[in-house]
């Protein structure tokens, strides 16, 4: 089987999980696509998982209420071993990249990190990934009875419902007592949708002018239409916005239904993070800006003039 460890938050399956299902189906690896759902009170997540997977394995325990690398690694390795998984896919999130190498060690398996493409030939698995600050895309290959892979979020399309919902099975897990404990957690309060989950993203570039304009125009438009907020590296490097919002080769990869780029030139490193968006809408005062080469809709003009009118129209 191809084992995917489901990522979920707030009782909902994360988009990254649907992307991993596509990665699994496109990889050419044999076996049922199996989602492992770990957590406490995850029946709703398991039901969502069953819509896209061939089968769902559910570990619903108090000991799994909070993510812990030692516990997740032990549970994943146990299920991979018992199910004779040939491939284990783990999200390329901060936590996924923390426990995936532990899983590989436990299974004595090769580990491919941050895959943006997967393809199988025979019992070998090839993965593409960015390297050298994303200036180079390299292809790596591993073979063996089982291979552990992390998948870069935003690199694959989200899977849609399978022809038939997958069966769900409860699993019994032998979990270690973790040596590291989460003793506190403060969650940033925002009503805004996360960048990697958003179906519409408004991104601001240096052409927005300054941090205040970013708040007024980029966040203003995003809030008016219920979108996520992205930024170019130029804006992040200038300290206007946090790195978490950066889209591009050295930031997040996204493919929303609509990507609205305000004052973004469209440098190749930016395009590689958002070029697969279904609809790209660009506003830039330079008609020759490279972003217009990939845009489905473009407005040549000043963001300071056009965006306030868009916000007003959206609010109406």
List of residues contacting ligand FAD (CB under 6 A) = 133-135, 205-207, 232-235, 246-251, 263-265, 267, 269-270, 273, 283-286, 289, 302-304
Nearer to ligand FAD, 99 or 292 (CB): 292
Tokens of 158: 């989200």
Q: Where are the beta strands (DSSP E) in the chain?
A: 2-5, 8-9, 12-13, 33-39, 55-60, 87-91, 111-115, 117-121, 124-131, 136-143, 147-151, 167-170, 200-204, 228-231, 258-262, 279-284, 297-300
Q: Supply the minimum distance, in Å, between the C-beta of residue 261 and ligand FAD.
A: 8
Nearer to ligand FAD, 15 or 270 (CB): 270
Q: Give the residue carrying structure tokens 């929303």.
A: 256
Q: Is 20 left (phi over 0), alpha (psi -120 to 50) or beta?
A: alpha
Q: Supply the minimum distance, in Å, between the C-beta of residue 305 and ligand FAD.
A: 8
Q: Supply the minimum distance, in Å, between the C-beta of residue 233 and ligand FAD.
A: 3
Nearer to ligand FAD, 83 or 248 (CB): 248
**Residue of 309, 269, 268, 261 lying closest to 286 (CA atoms):** 261
Q: SS3 for 92?
A: coil
Nearer to ligand FAD, 111 or 214 (CB): 214
DSSP string, 172-235: ----PPPSS-----------SPPTTT-SEEEEE-GGG-SHHHIIIIIIHHHHHHT-EEEE-HHH
Alpha carbons 182 and 4: distance in angstroms, whole number? 24
Q: Supply the minimum distance, in Å, between the C-beta of residue 131 and ligand FAD.
A: 11
Alpha carbons 218 and 203: distance in angstroms, whole number? 7
Nearer to ligand FAD, 93 or 265 (CB): 265
Nearer to ligand FAD, 146 or 195 (CB): 195
235, 241 contact by CB (below 8 A): yes
Q: Supply the minimum distance, in Å, between the C-beta of residue 86 and ligand FAD.
A: 33
Q: Supply the minimum distance, in Å, between the C-beta of residue 235 and ligand FAD.
A: 5
Nearer to ligand FAD, 207 or 256 (CB): 207
Nearer to ligand FAD, 15 or 206 (CB): 206
Q: Supply the minimum distance, in Å, between the C-beta of residue 96 and ligand FAD.
A: 20
Helix, strand and coil content of the chain, in percent to the nearest 5, comes to 35, 30, 40
Q: Supply the minimum distance, in Å, between the C-beta of residue 242 and ligand FAD.
A: 14
């Amino acid at each position: 089987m191809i084992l995917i460890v489901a990522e979920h938050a707030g009782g909902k399956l994360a988009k990254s999980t649907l992307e991993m299902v596509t990665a699994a189906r496109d990889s050419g690896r044999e076996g049922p696509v199996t989602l492992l759902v770990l957590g406490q009170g995850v029946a709703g997540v398991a039901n969502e998982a069953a819509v896209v997977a061939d089968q769902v394995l559910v570990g619903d325990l108090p000991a799994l209420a909070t993510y812990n690398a030692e516990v997740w690694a032990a549970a994943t390795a146990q299920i991979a071993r018992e199910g004779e998984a040939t491939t284990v896919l783990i999200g390329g999130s901060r936590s996924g990249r923390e426990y995936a190498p532990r899983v590989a060690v436990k299974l004595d398996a090769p580990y491919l990190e941050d895959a943006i493409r997967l393809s199988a030939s025979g019992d070998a698995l090839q993965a593409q990934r960015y390297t050298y600050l994303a200036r180079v895309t390299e292809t790596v290959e591993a073979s063996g009875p089982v291979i552990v892979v992390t998948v870069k979020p935003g690199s694959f399309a989200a899977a849609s419902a399978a022809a038939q919902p997958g069966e769900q099975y409860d699993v019994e897990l032998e979990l270690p007592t973790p040596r590291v404990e989460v003793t506190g957690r403060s969650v940033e309060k925002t009503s805004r949708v996360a960048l990697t989950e958003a179906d519409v993203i408004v991104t601001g570039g240096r052409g927005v002018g300054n941090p205040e304009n970013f708040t007024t125009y980029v966040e203003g438009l995003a809030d008016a239409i219920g979108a996520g907020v992205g930024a170019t590296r130029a804006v992040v490097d200038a300290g206007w916005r946090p790195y978490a919002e950066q889209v591009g080769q050295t930031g997040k990869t996204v493919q929303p239904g609509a990507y609205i780029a305000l004052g973004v030139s469209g440098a190749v490193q930016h395009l590689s993070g958002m070029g697969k968006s279904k609809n790209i809408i660009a506003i830039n005062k330079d008609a020759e800006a490279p972003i217009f080469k990939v845009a489905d809709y473009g407005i040549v003009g000043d963001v300071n003039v056009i965006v306030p009118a868009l916000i007003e129209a959206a609010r109406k």
